[in-house]
Amino acid sequence: MKKRVGILTSGGDCPGLNATIRGAAKALYHRMGDKVEIVGVMNGYDGLINGNYREMDPSEFSGILTMGGTILGTKRTPFKKMRVIEEDNVDKVKAMKRTYKEAKLDCLLCLGGNGTHKTANLLSQEGLNIIGLPKTIDNDIYGTDVTFGFHTAVDIATEVIDRIHTTAGSHSRVMCIEIMGNKAGWLTLYAGIAGGADIILIPEHPYDIEKVAAAVEKRAQAGKNFSILAVAEGAYSVEEAKMKRKEWTAKRAEAGYTTATNRIAHQIEKITGAETRICVPGHMQRGGSPSAYDRVLATQFGTYAASLVADEHYGVTVAMVNRHVTSNPLVDIAGKSRLVPDDCDMLNVARAMGISLG
């Protein structure tokens, strides 16, 4: 009897999704030959809700190792709305279970980040055979040391910082580079250190704008004619940390600064008098071919997922722990985030280098 394995990619795209799909598929075919069929669910959980799936041909998994994005398509379907019946009167959980049954799936691989893992755990609790695979450029999935997509994004963000150095130095400017990361600062921290940023601001550590400005002035007094700030998009000030999110977002809107980077740049220029500019690489950090590291990691994760399928070990998500690929129960992972702790080694490296953390 053939085993039918479903695969979906959910949430934001990132480099390494296709490499992971390929790793899982090729390992499954190698293990089971013609006794396995792979079913692609299109556009994430939206496809599972709406019955948008198709049987895949083995040839579709060739030539995708180096491709960015996802051949299955992706869409954000917020976990908080999964049990909410909206105007279309669709019971999403019931619909996903129905599609799983109609597609005659024996299990489903869910590639995604925190929201994806929450829904994966929900489906597991509902009795479906689910395996998660940790994807996100934020590197913030609990229980794994690294997620695929992260290192490629670090490479891209680092290149942005590298290129900004020359223009900052040429024009004697302060440059604020907005790096992706709404709640977790891993990407900003790693790229900031790799790119030689002078100031690194992350969401886990609210910044004091006076300290930030003082760091810029200290460099100027030392004869440095420019400063580079790596700012996580989710960074916020010590004053904002005392407010509710709705309150400080409203205050930013009133002032005309929707992002932390805009506000920080304006304040630095006002306090120090230094000409300040903003650079927002945005979705460039999600795009393009995965790095060699991520290709290897994605292949490791994909092949390990195939072994879990073969062993019928479900209700788990793949993880890298102390350089070994393993798995964690979905119930232990869902709803938790891996944020930058105060005693993080990389924060200590930044401090030892004299990098200001605001």
Strand, coil or helix: 297: helix
Q: Rounded to an integer, what is the distance from CA 301 to the centroid of its chain?
A: 16
What gap in Å lies between CA 101 and CA 76, rounded to an integer? 23
How far is it, in rounded angstroms, from Cα 5 to Cα 14? 22
Q: Are the C-beta atoms of residues 327 and 317 closer than 8 Å to each other?
A: yes
Q: Which residue, among 234, 259, 260, 250, has the nearest Cα to 340 in the 3D structure?
A: 234
234 three-class SS: coil
Question: Residue 65 corresponds to which tokens in the numbers above?
Answer: 């190792």
Contact 148, 290 (CB under 8 A): yes
Q: Which residue, chain included where needed, has tokens 């690929």?
A: 325
Q: Which of 46, 106, 138, 198 is catalytic?
A: 138
Which distant-in-sequence residues (6+ apart) come within 8 Å of 17 by Cβ?
A: 9, 69, 70, 74, 111, 135, 148, 149, 298
3-class secondary structure, 115? helix
Active site residue 138: yes
**Which of the 8 DSSP states describes residue 227?**
E
Active site residues: 138
